Every structure is written in structure tokens, then in C-alpha cells.
Chain A
Amino acid sequence: MPSLGADMAAGKLVEWLKKPGDAVRRGDIVAVVETQKGAIEVEIFETGVLSETLVPPGATVPVGTPLALIVGEGEPARARPTPPPERPIAPAPPTAPPPVAPPPAAAGARPLASPAARRLAAARGVDLAALTGSGPGGAVVSADVERAAERAPAAARGRIDLAAMRQAIAAAMARSKREIPHYYLSTSIDMTTALAWLEARNADRPPAERLLPAVLLVKAVALALRRFPELNGFHSADGFRPAEDVHVGVAIALRGGGLVAPAIRDTAARPLDDLMAAFRDLVARVRAGTLRSSELSDPTITVSSLGERGVEGMLAVIYPPQVAIVGFGSVTRRPWATDDRVEVRPAVTASLAGDHRVSDGHRAALFLREVDDLLQSPERL
């Protein structure tokens, strides 16, 4: 069956124009074949005698199928040919060498690791050199890093390198003072009502469940921020982006020096007991070195309280890209003027450092007054 068109795969033999025993000459028309393009006459390229037709009229056969046998002049009659075996396609090597350069041998200090593994290892604090790779050529791939990070969460996440932390604080604080035009406000807040309320609340509780004044202060800040979005968010090259929720970062000093300010998520929405538990948990985990990285990157504002160190007030440095930081000194008994009289009352000095690119002193003053108002009616906290 000849190929009578580029896309012809098979043809149907319609009619034989020669029958066995007929002499045929090169150029004779011997058969008619039907294709997608219509009926086409088949010419012969050999001279001799048509000894046998191999395909009956009406049959459809693939291109390349012998249709008939021709015996050349003087040739003996031949047996019916067996179709030649299809020449096998040169098989692709079963494991074709990958068309990319093989990975180099891991030499010296540089472990063989994929780009994704390197990025993930940096984020999770995983040491690539300690891993056995499962990727191409034994390279460490991202899945290997994930497994390692899960196996040793504490070691991977929590080992705090004090020197590195000092460097990070140095970089952040230097950047803050270089880039952020700080302004500072402070005010004294009468804590009489708040402490009395706290005392009543803690009266019949075991020590482990008691609320500390710091939690009232943090909650008051968080609630007040709902009305002052310009103090709660992030400043970047694209300008200020207010945060949707309030995640207050609480500054916690480390025993060996340095500090971290992990977030208590959704601070404004959580009840005081819940906040207290979260706060205790954070302090414990900071000391144990098992903070989660998300807690460190989350805060939308920071609250720093140096009360237990006996400091009266503080002028804090904003932690970029945040745009404000609130500081509280110790709650101390001090002379307090009221109704032309001087009384001794417990009071705390609240201060605020704001980013003047984003907010102004007027609004920040209203914010501090809101914090004060909230602390005068602690049942709202």
C-alpha cells in the first residue's frame, strides 16, 4: 500500500485492474485505492508477471503492506514474503543521563544543597552541613530541611546566639535612629482604681493565676490602638500600611543580656486571663529558647515595661518597621495633686515614641489619654 499523501496512514483496496498471471510493465496501473483524498490509481514500478494478489478488494490495510507479488522475467516463483520485522526504534538509554551537569562533589565547607533548601535552612536555622541529602546527586533539598526542622524544633528554633542577637539589635536600633524621626510624649497615670480592682480580682486566686499590673497596661494599650490605626502597623519604602489586627510585642529581657519582643497575637480581643497565660508562656519560652519565628516577626507595636527595675520612665527606640513603642516605668506611690490637695497615690509614667512620618503628637496625645481612661475603668479591660 503506497503512501499517497503526507498524512495517509491506511488505504482501502477498491479494485484490482490486473489478475494473477497477467504480465505487467513498469508504469502500468494495477489497482485502485481509496484514501481520504479520494480514489487513486496505483502504478507499478516493476516489470514481470503478477503472480499473486495479497489483499482482497474491500480490505483496508496500513501504508507499507505488500499488495501483490510480482515475479521478474526469468525469476523463479517466490514464496509469499514474510513482512520484515519492524526495525526497533533505537531505545533511549533506560536511565538516560540527565541533560544537566551533575552536581559537583560537596567540597570543603560548602554543602551540596538546592537553592530552595538553602533559603529554607536560613529561615529555620538549620545547619545544612549536618544533613544527608535525598535530592539529585545527594543534594540536600527543601524536604530534607523540613524534616530536620521538625525533628529538632528546639535546637533549630530556640538556640539563641547572643552575639548574633546583639548584632541584630544594633542593626535595628541604628537603622531606627537613622531613619525614623522620633517624637516623644509622656504622661502620669493614676493607678489607684486599677490596682484596687486588680487586688479584688486576685484576692481568692492562687499565685499562679493572679494577674499582674503589666497585663492591664498591655491590654489598655491594645484596646486604645483600635481607635488609632496610625500607631499600629508598618512603614516601608511604599509608605505606611496599618495592620488589620493588634499584635502587641512585649519586650522581654534575656538573662544573658539582650532582649526580644515576641507578639501576643490579637491582644485586643483576648480576655485578661488569657493574656496573662500567654504572657507567662512567652516569658517561659524566651528563657527556654523555644520561641517561634512567627512570634518574632509579628508585632504591630511594642510595649516595654521596665517597672520591676525601678525606673520611673523611659524614652524608647522604635523597632522598625513598626511605627510606635509604648514604655511604662514602675508603679510608684507619689504625691498626686487633686482638688487643690496633695495625696499619695500609686501612679505610673507612660511614654510613647512615635514615627513622625506616620503620626503626629496631637493624635498620640489623644491615644495616651485613651489608655489613661481605660485604666480608670478597669472593668472595661
Chain B
Amino acid sequence: MTADRPPPGTNEITYREAVKQAIRDAMIRDPRVFLMGEDVGRYGGCYAVSKGLLEEFGPERIRDTPLSESTFTGAGIGAALGGMRPIVEIMTVNFSLLALDQIVNNAATLLHMSGGLFNVPLVIRMATGAGRQLAAQHSHSLEGWYAHVPGLKVLAPATIEDARGMLWPALEDPDPVLIFEHVMLYNDTGPLPDRRPVDITKAAVRRPGKDVTIITYGGMLPKTLAAADMLAADGIAAEVIDLRVLRPLDEETVIASVRRTRRAVIVDEGWRSGSLSAEISARIMEQAFWDLDAPVGRVCSAEVPMPYPRHLEQAALPQPDGIVAAARATLGPR
């Protein structure tokens, strides 16, 4: 079955296919690029992103690894130090915790600890987020943890264009870049984007509005846009900002929008405590306090391990209704 390919004769493409085309394109452009991870070769990738690449590029460049995240992430760091441009795929961010030492203690620090001598041009892709009933060991949104760490750049492509365009500039970056692909986005379809690389320093205004700024990223973007539609039906014009880059944060775009709308809601699939949403809220307080007309609102996942049953999983996740309610709360009675 070829559900990941657009039906013939259309210019639609899935997010999954966009990621694959980005990898393929990079492999063709630069012989130093290779893909490494669990089941990326013969199985075609846990989310079928790399299906067919083994046949096209061979086992030297599409490498199946043992089930040891620490080992193959470390190997990726070594290859990057040795002049290669590795793409390491980790099945889910939950599993990346086994490689936390390599990512945080090695990849993020070597440039600093070598006195600027050794860059680590490594790209790590991982799936994140819930919604597929994969339970508490495969469904969490921990990208905010990595956004805490100096030395890392953290990207969250939420659109097909970004899924297609972020990989090449990430590979060109001389330092480690983490790319988080939300599991609920893989089947999204949309117009075939240009081959152009995209900017990986700026947030994007996905929908302009004047009444309240809703800040989000990754898998929460579609739900936030749905909430903005619901708000528009009630005459409330929400501006939706897609962060795109979780570290370093593009404060300028966020603060400029909040200064205009005077109200902010942050939608983050991570848990509320100590989250990226907390960081953004704090920066709004630091830089736009005197422009606010309401307390900053947040919509986050329930503070529980992600449940398996569908109704509980959905109840634990941010939903459009909750986003609408939080946006309304910043506006007062109408």
C-alpha cells in the first residue's frame, strides 16, 4: 500500500513523504550524509519515513543499528567529528532518554570543551507526542527538555513545507540540531512544497489576528488553528504563532505580536510544570508586562503519564475546546 504517496495526478504530499524527500535530497546532494537508527533500513522506519531508501542508497548509507540509543547516537557524534554529516533517527523522544548522556554531555558540550576546535555537525530526528495510543513509554513530549540545553538547536516542523525544508539547513549547521516530528503529523497532506530550504531561526505567524496571540508549535498547530477557526466564528481574531524553533527562541516575533494583541495563550503538549510554555510565559512577563491586558494563559497536557485508552489519552491532551476557553478567558465577558 502506498498511502504515503500522493494519488497520481495531484500535487499533494504527506508530511511523512516530505521528510523522506528531504532525507533523499540531502543524501544525493552530499555524500557525507547518511541515515542511522533502529529499523530505518529493512523495516523502512518505525513511521515508514525511510521506506525504500535502503534499496536506493544501500546499507552503507542507510544503517540499521542495534537497539541501543546511547551507542548509535554516540557513533553519530563520532562520525560528525570525523567529517561526516550523520542523520540519527531515534524512534521516539521517550527512547532518546537512553542517549541523553551522549546528546547533553557530548554533542552539546564538545565545541565548548574543545575551546572551539570541534564542531559536532550532527542531526538527530525523533518522533514526539501522543495521539496514537502508544501509551506512556512512547507518547510524551519532551522536546522542551532539550530546549533547555545550550549548545543544541531544536526544531519542530509543524507543516509539510518545514518537514521538507528544515533538514538541509540543519545539516549545514556546524552544531548539533534536533528535529522533532510529531506522530500525528505524518499522515497530514498538503501541497508539494518547493525544494527551497527554509529559514531555521524564525517563528512564523500562521494566522494573523488582533485580539489574542496563541503561541504553539509542532503537533499542536493544527488544533490551535482549529481553535482559531472556532474563535473567528464568535468574532474573535486570534493570531497563531508557530514557534518552529524551540531553541533559540524567536522572542522578537512573539513579543511583537503580544504587544499588538495585549493577550497571550501558549499551547504546549508538554506538561505544564517547568515546561517550554513556562519559559515563554516568563519572557512575555519580562518584556511585555506593561503591554498586557490579561494574565498569560496556558493549555498543556494533564500532568499524568500518557494513558493508553483512547478516551483517556484524548482527555489528557490539549484540545481545541480548551484552547478556545483559554483564549476567551483573556478577553473577558462579551
Residues on A facing B (Cβ under 8 Å): 5-7, 9-12, 34-37, 86-96, 98-101, 114-119, 133-139, 141-143
Contact = CB atoms under 8 A, between A and B. Distances in A.
A31 B256 CA distance: 58
A244 B240 CA distance: 39
Contacts of A139: 293-294, 332
B298 A141 contact: no
B331 interface: yes
B1 A135 contact: no
B294 A89 contact: no
Given A135-B293, A136-B331, A7 B47 contact: yes
Contacts of B310: 86-87, 89
B65 interface: no
Contacts of B309: 87
If over half of A's interface residues share one DSSP class (helix, strand or loop), that class is named, otherwise mixed; here it is loop
Contacts of B293: 114-117, 135, 139, 141-143
A100 B46 contact: no
B109 interface: no
B297 A12 contact: no
Nearest to A135: B332
B329 A98 contact: yes
Interface in B1-57: 1-4, 16, 43-44, 46-48, 51
B111 interface: no
B297 A36 contact: no
Contacts of B16: 7
A95 B332 contact: no
Contacts of A7: 16, 46-48, 132, 183, 186-187
Contact of B291 (A9, A96, A101, A115): A115
B329 A89 contact: no
Interface stretch (B151-159, B164-172, B320-328): B320-328
Given A37-B44, A99-B299, A141-B262, A89 B3 contact: no
Contacts of A9: 3, 187
B292 interface: yes
B292 A116 contact: yes
Given A12-B1, A115-B292, A6 B297 contact: no
12 contacts: A7-B186, A34-B1, A37-B44, A37-B48, A88-B311, A90-B315, A98-B329, A99-B329, A115-B292, A133-B332, A134-B332, A136-B331
B305 interface: no
A114 B4 CA distance: 50
Contact of B134 (A6, A90, A116): A6
B289 interface: yes
B330 A136 contact: yes
A89 B311 contact: yes
B150 interface: no
Contacts of A136: 294-295, 329-332
From A5, A87, A90, A96, name the one whose CB has the most chain B CB atoms within 10 angstroms. Answer: A96
B148 interface: no
B311 A96 contact: no
B178 to A, nearest CB: 20
Contacts of A119: 290-291
A135 B321 CA distance: 21
A8 to B, nearest CB: 9
Contacts of A141: 262, 293-294, 332
A115 B296 CA distance: 12
B48 A101 contact: no
Contacts of B328: 95
A133 B290 CA distance: 17
B67 interface: no
Contacts of A116: 262, 290-293
Contacts of B292: 114-116
B314 interface: yes
A301 B26 CA distance: 62
Nearest to B133: A3
B183 A137 contact: no
B296 A100 contact: yes
B176 to A, nearest CB: 26
Nearest to A89: B314
A143 B294 CA distance: 12
Interface string B299-310: 100000000011
Nearest to B310: A87
A96 B321 contact: yes
A133 B331 CA distance: 11
A27 B47 CA distance: 27
A67 to B, nearest CB: 17
A279 B93 CA distance: 71
Contact of B326 (A5, A37, A98): A98
Contacts of B136: none
Contacts of B322: 92, 96
